[in-house]
Structure 1
Amino acid sequence: MDPKTAIKYPGVTSIVDMLPKPFLVWWAARMAAETAIENLVAVTAIAQSDPTGAIDYLRNAHSRYTKLRAKIGSDAHDLFERMARGEAIGRVHPDLEPYRAGFAEFLDVVRPELVRAEDIAWSDTHKYAGSFDAILRVRLGEDGKPDHVSGEWHTLIVDWKTSKSTYPDVALQMSAYANADKIIAPDGTSEDMPEFDGAAVLHIKPEGWEFLPVRIDAEVFDIFLTLRKVFRWDREISKTVIGRAIASGVRRLVTGTQRRA
């Protein structure tokens, strides 16, 4: 929401979620099956006294995993922002240490300059908003690799990812941020969204990290705008397309028992 106007627009993530994701059904089923096998004795014991509880435990396996990953991701994002702003970081929780180490190495190898972090990308033109991770300036050579001596400066919209994989829909998300009209800071002040030379995602996993270029061109943004229309259909238009009955009739079966009563 824009604090100055109190206007609310749908979030970028909610719009991108309009993409069909049939694989999630199979992933959730696999999570339930793996949980059952890994905890077979415990699940069997629960099922003997509380079958419904055992079912709930298994069917919610994917939700528990998602919540755990979301917590780690949120904590890691907070850590990344503080490190990008130059804050000295001491000891962290063991679960976060691989991410701290990976981000520290990224800072050392790429040497980015932080422009903005965790601000709101706002589009009055297309009516959406969303919080982006960072805008960075990085010095790259002709081969696209870091070049701190003779490389040219590039302004990039950047996203931090701590998930198992980097998925293509991150391009839709980042194209939305890059093509927004303005940036809104926490204090409510705003400025025009800068021109970007590109986008990148920093994917950090416990075993390593990658800084990957991401397409945010007109073709990708046009697909995001299509999803924006789908979002409006889902949340608004679909509720208006079926009107009241022009005519109706009710057929009620009267049983022999009812006739004799």
Structure 2
Amino acid sequence: MAIRTTKKGGARFYVNPATRMMYPGVTSILNMQPKTFLGYWRSKMTAELAVKSFPFLQEMVETAGEEAAVAYLKGAADRYTKARASLGSEAHIIFERIIRGEDVGRQRQDLEPYRVNFLEFMEVVRPELVSAEDIAWSDTHEYAGSYDIIMRVQLSPDAEGHLVPDHVNGKWYLLIGDWKTSKDTYPDVALQMAAYAHADKLIAPNGAERPVPEFDGAAVLHITDTAWAFKPVQADAEVFSYFLALRKMFNWDRTLAKDVIGRPIASGGRTVTGTERRK
């Protein structure tokens, strides 16, 4: 029976209809990381939009009011994130179709560079598809997530000891992998890969289960509209231990954190009058 997903309290959960188990998704667990930089980034996005659209904002205030203008500015970061996520999802579909052997043809203007760069990656690295977009499932630690790719690549060390493609004498490596279309690659991709690599089993779209193979490593393809880079990722037991700490924080946030503050033992302060409440 196929796994389904559902949203609850802003987090994604994977549900196994056969066992009725519901586990949080890997990405939702990773969101337990502190992201203090987001405050600055959101403020910067809002400020840049205000400067670039100043005449438009003046007109909006005059025609729709200040609240509409404020809402427009407040939504700057969310609109950007949504647009980037949509583009990334479309690019992922193209990558999966290509690595499955399909000829996807020329894409629209904003997606075409991703297709071209992915085809170059395919030519240079020549990955062999093992599976794609199946679900890594852990009953042991109660999480699940959909991985991008499991692949085999043929590599050899260069003069400095770094692995590079070698399609003649290279050793075959089984890798858990991920496609990233973000501005850069970030350390949490290691936590993501470690979670998939240390799951209990893999579940296909039709519900068929199989053991998680023993991987030789993990890698991320960082691909943008201008360049691509195929990078090794540490996804060992040490990295996995940090993912498990976030898994525990997810439980804290959803359960104990809601009950650790009790009712006041005593309280005081100025009483709010009925007239003030009605204002």
Give the TM bin, normalised by the shorter chain. Answer: over 0.9
Structure 2 residue aligned with 1:10, among 24, 28, 33? 24
Matches within 5 A, 1:49-198: 49=63, 50-143=65-158, 144-198=163-217
Quote how far apart the aligned CAs of 1:112 are: 0.4
**Matched residues, percent identical?**
58
Alignment of 1:225 with 2:250, yes or no, is no
Corresponding residue for residue 41 of structure 2: 27
Contact 1:4 1:188 in 2 (8 A): no
Taking only aligned residues, the RMSD between alpha carbons, in angstroms, comes to: 1.8
Quote how far apart the aligned CAs of 1:252 are: 7.0
Q: Deviations over 1:62-92 (max 9, x none)?
A: 0000010011000001111000100111121
Q: Deviations over 1:174-208 (max 9, x none)?
A: 10001001001110110001111111110111111
State the one-letter code of the partner of 1:129.
A
Identify which range, 15-24 or 48-57, moves more after superposition.
Answer: 48-57
Alignment of 1:206 with 2:203, yes or no, is no
Identify which range, 233-242 or 183-192, moves more after superposition.
Answer: 233-242
- Whole-angstrom CA distance in 2 between matches of 1:15 and 1:254: 41
Is the radius of gyration larger for structure 1 or structure 2?
A: 1
- Whole-angstrom CA distance in 1 between matches of 2:189 and 2:47: 29
Quote how far apart the aligned CAs of 1:3 are: 3.5
Taking structure 1 as the reference length, what is the TM-score of the superposition? 0.93
| Structure with greater strand share of residues | 2
Structure 2 unaligned spans of 5+: 1-14, 274-279
Quote how far apart the aligned CAs of 1:236 are: 1.2
Q: SS at the partner of 2:117? A: helix
Structure 1 unaligned spans of 5+: 256-261
* Structure 1 pair 208–251 and aligned structure 2 pair: CA distance change class (3 A): closer
* Structure 1 pair 244–112 and aligned structure 2 pair: CA distance change class (3 A): same
- Whole-angstrom CA distance in 2 between matches of 1:20 and 1:88: 41
Q: Deviations over 1:73-116 (max 9, x none)?
A: 00001111000100111121111101100110111000000001
Instruction: Give the total of aligned pairs.
Output: 255
Q: SS at the partner of 2:151? A: strand
